[in-house]
Structure formats: C-alpha cells, structure tokens
Chains A and B, each alone.
Chain A
C-alpha cells in the first residue's frame, strides 16, 4: 500500500468530500473531515520520510509512464508543502467547529465541510502533481471551492469580494493555461520534468520566453504578488473566520510553490534566474509589496483587513528570496512559507476568536480587551513578535536567511530594507497591542471571555510552533535547505 500513498492522500479527501455532499449531516461530516485531515497528515509525514530515505517518488497514474500519462511526483519540497497544508487543514478544522456553527446556516454546514475537503484536495493536488495541465485542473478545484467558502461570509461584501476573486483568479488561471499551451506547442509534452529537459534547447526562443511570462503573471495573480493583490484583502476580510484562517495559511503558498517549481525545475535556475530579467523584476516588486502592504496595513481599522495587507507584505518576503539567486535566499523563502503559514494562521485564528466573543473585528471596539481575553491577546503578542522577527521566533529565522541571501547577493541595502520593513510591522502590530492593553474598556461594555478552549488550544498549538521552530530549526530549516539545494542543484 505504501507505494500508493501519493495518490491516496489526494483521493481520500476527494471521496470524503463527495460523501459529505451526500451525507449533509453536520456531525458526520465534521468527524469525517477530521479523520481525513489526520490521515493525510500522517501520509504526508510518511512520504517525507520515504523521500528522505529513498529519493524522489514518482507515481504513474493509470499505469501510464510519465510523458504519456499523468505523473505524481513527490520530492522534498513537495512533501514539505503537503505536511504544511494537511497540518493547517487539520488544525483549522478542529478550531473552526464553533465558528462554523455561528457563521454558516444550519442546513449548509455539512456541505461546508464537503467544500472544505474539496479545497484541501485541490491544494494538495496542485502541489503533488508533476503534470502542468493537471496542476491547472486542481487549481480550479481549489479555486472554485474557495470562491464558495469566501462567499459564505455573513457580510454581503463577502459576495462582492468572492466575485472579484473569481474574475481575477480565473484570469490568472487562464494566463497560466496560455503559458502552458505555448510551452506545449514548443515541446509537445506536458510533464514538468520532460518539459524542463525538452525546453533546454529552446529556452531563448520567443515562445518559451512568452510562455514563461504568461505563467509568471498568471501565478502572480493567484499568489497576490503586489500590484496584482487587489482581490486578497477583501476576500480575507469578509470570508468566514475559519475559511480565512485556512486560506491565509495555505492558498497563496501553493501558488508560490508552483511558481518556484516553474522557475527552478521547468525553466531551470541557470536560465530563469541567471539569464533573464525575472529576478530583477521580482526583486523590485517584492520590495514594493513589503512596503506597500505593511504601510497600508497600518491604516486599517478592520483587523482582518490589516492582517490581509500584512499577508501581501509577507508574500513579498517570500518572493524576495527567489530573486536573490542563492541557496540561502531560497532557503529563507521556503522556510518563510512554513513560518508565515504558522504565524498568519495563528493570528487569523485568534482574530476569529475575538470576532466570536466581541462580535466585531474593528480596532476601535477592541479597546481594553487585553485584560478580559488574556490568552487571546498574549498569543497575539507572541505571534506578532514573530512577524516582527524577534530572535527566538520563526520570523527571525526566515529573515535571518533572507538577509544572508541578500549579503551573498552583495546588497547591503536589501538588509537595511528588511529591517525598516520590520519596523512597519511593529507599527501595525503595536497599534493593536496598544489598543488592547492600554486603553480602557468603554463604560457599560459587557464583560468578555476568552473564546472556547478548543479554539485557543489550536491557536496556541501554532504559536508554540512559532517558538519551537524558532529555536529548534532542524525540521523546517533542514528540509527547506535540502529542498533549496535540490532545486538549484538539479537545475538543468
């Protein structure tokens, strides 16, 4: 059975999603989803072990060998992301039960979990596939379910946000398909590895370059790289809180993964990074994202929107590492994918708890809640410190490696910019802390409590992760470093 793991961890959520749609019973669906996420997490960890021991796993779908059929390909980076996605899906799922009961209509809850599973399945499918077109199909599975999950928000603005995301997401996916089409016309294959091999002699031809441009732009739309981020803030802000926590931690990460896959595996490090203007463009855009995102975040009154803009900035950090053309820089990026998912996941989960208890996520309503919701706000402070990059937290680890990469790149000014942008993080995180701890509760306001224990527990699990992986970096940093080595090393 072990050799079928790659397909099983995609197919089990898919089948479970269909079963949820049939069952419609909230309790049944909840437990089913819970079991599925646990199974997938265990499967993902097993696969990481297998890959570490025996090298890349290739699974031929339908028994047709790769260029003919569709291939599932698990290497270090893939397993690393599979673990991240299934871990976040499981934690957010356990956390979200109470929120779903509050935010989703009763007769839709079973379907909500079905949708959640489909989204999970789509995201995992994008990561694990070794076929360019198959990635598109699963991208659509995850996107369509995400549009629905977002549109279920109670605020009517969730609908408009979801529509905007649908339009921009579909443009992005279509651009991606155009790019894949151009590469396919040039090479006659859709398998990523085969594409990489066959493109080698065509790389300087216009078709390959245009194909690369379309793929990069399309994926940038999906991953909300700075000027193309317009869909993200509204989608995060108005989606149901449990949805926000899940997609903020996983969705953009998957597109980032795919981008890395194309830049390093298909086009190759030597070409994409060393001999095209891609890194320069990405560098400029990433720095713009870091500053614009953080800067806009400072002026947000809605905390979810603030964190969403902060995500735009953090995505900038991740793509920055791609442009630094060094193993340290890429390691920083990959490690930050994991770290940012934990920090942002924790923050959105805590904000979901605040929304549940306070009934609002506006900063002005949060005055003085620090004393009434001690665990929530303490978690907020720790995760915020991690965003800032305080030593001993995961945020520090990623920034340290990005800085090392920048030094290797020979650019002191990037390090300086990293520090300055961290100050912006201090500004918006500090604002929340200041309001929550140092302003008095308005007179006559009802006393608040921390959200239910299970929600806190799940959020604190991630916060503990933020600290643990900030000190013991074996798993995250080690895997990321090996993956970065493999990406740059195997480049044709």
Chain B
C-alpha cells in the first residue's frame, strides 16, 4: 500500500471522529435517530477506511480478526441472552420489564441498551469480517 501523506493525515483525523460519531449514534439512539445497526455500520466504515489506507497488516493488528469473528455470534448471544434472562426473571421472552418489576421504565431502558449493544457487536463484526474476507480472497 502506497503512503500518501494527505490520505494518511486526513484519515488519522477522520477515523477517531468516525468512531466517536458511531458511539454517539449508538448511545443517542433513544433520543434521536440511530441505534445499534447504524452505529455498527459507521464504525465498520471507519475500520474499512483504516484498512484501505494503512493496509491489512496494520488493521489486523488494531482489530484482530479472531476477536472480530468471535464477535459475530457473540452479539446474537447477547441479544438472545437478554431474552433468556427475562425468562429466568419470570417475564416473557424479551420482556424487559422483568429486569426491574418495580420500575418497568428502568427495566426497559436496561433491556434496550443491552439489546442495542448486541446488535452493534454483530453488525460491526460482521461487516468488518465480510470486508476482510473479500480482501483476503483477493491475494
């Protein structure tokens, strides 16, 4: 991968902000547009940009593929696990109220945050992995 100075500098500036924005979109999903899926897509875009500019080696050092691959099922497990936890707490599946029967709203908040986190993990990891897989196939 050739090293263009402008690309390097711009991307170094851009990527942290992309990740930060992704984090904002994730956490702000309750109030404004956004949520786990969009945040995952944006964060993945940041990693893809990083890969394109700094090369695959550097990217794999920053985001180890093994961990990312493990994240794909992990996100689903988090989501499904929330449901199972609700079951164990005496609610129906994905009934977040069960987290905190005295304050259902709090329970809902907790449930939604956890679930969105699960979505984020799966989406982010899947998109990065798909990109890596395509890139690696090219060699």
Listed in ascending order, the chain A residues whose CB lies under 8 Å from chain B are 4, 7, 11, 14-15, 17-19, 21-22, 59-63, 114
Contact = CB atoms under 8 A, between A and B. Distances in A.
A19 B95 contact: no
B93 A61 contact: yes
B76 A62 contact: no
Interface centre among A7, A11, A14, A63 (most CB of B within 10 A): A63
B73 A18 contact: yes
A18 B80 contact: yes
B77 A19 contact: yes
B70 A4 contact: no
B93 A11 contact: yes
B93 A14 contact: no
A19 B73 contact: yes
A63 B73 contact: no
A59 B80 CA distance: 17
Contact of B76 (A14, A59, A60, A63): A14
Contacts of A62: 92-96
B91 interface: yes
B134 to A, nearest CB: 16
Contacts of B91: 63
Interface in B45-87: 70, 72-74, 76-77, 80-81, 83-84, 87
Contacts of A114: 73
Contacts of B94: 61-62
Contacts, number: 49
B97 interface: yes
B80 A63 contact: no
A17 B74 CA distance: 11
A59 B70 CA distance: 32
B92 A60 contact: yes
B73 A4 contact: no
A283 B74 CA distance: 48
B77 A63 contact: no
A21 B76 CA distance: 11
A18 B94 CA distance: 18
Contacts of A19: 73, 77
Chain B at the A interface: mostly helix, strand, loop or mixed? helix
A11 B84 contact: yes
A7 B93 contact: yes
Given A18-B80, A21-B72, A59-B92, A4 B97 contact: no
Given A21-B72, A21-B73, A63 B83 contact: no
Nearest to A72: B93
Interface string B4-36: 000000000000000000000000000000000
A22 B92 contact: no
A62 B108 CA distance: 10
A240 to B, nearest CB: 21
Contacts of B87: 4, 7
Interface centre among B83, B87, B93 (most CB of A within 10 A): B93
7 contacts: A7-B92, A7-B93, A15-B76, A17-B73, A18-B73, A19-B77, A22-B74
| Shortest 6 CB-CB contacts between residues of A and residues of B | A63-B95, A18-B73, A21-B73, A62-B94, A7-B93, A63-B92
Nearest to A21: B73
A391 B81 CA distance: 50
A61 B76 contact: no
Nearest to B80: A15
B123 to A, nearest CB: 15
Nearest to B75: A18
Interface centre among B87, B92, B97, by most A CB within 10 Å? B92
Contacts of B92: 4, 7, 59-63
A11 B73 contact: no
Interface string B86-128: 0100011111111000000000000000000000000000000
Nearest to A63: B95
Contacts of B93: 4, 7, 11, 59, 61-62
B80 A22 contact: no
Contacts of A61: 92-94
Contacts of A4: 87, 92-93
Nearest to B77: A18
B83 A22 contact: no
Contacts of B84: 11, 15
A131 to B, nearest CB: 14
A35 B87 CA distance: 21
A63 B94 CA distance: 8
A63 B72 contact: no
A23 to B, nearest CB: 9
Contacts of B76: 14-15, 18
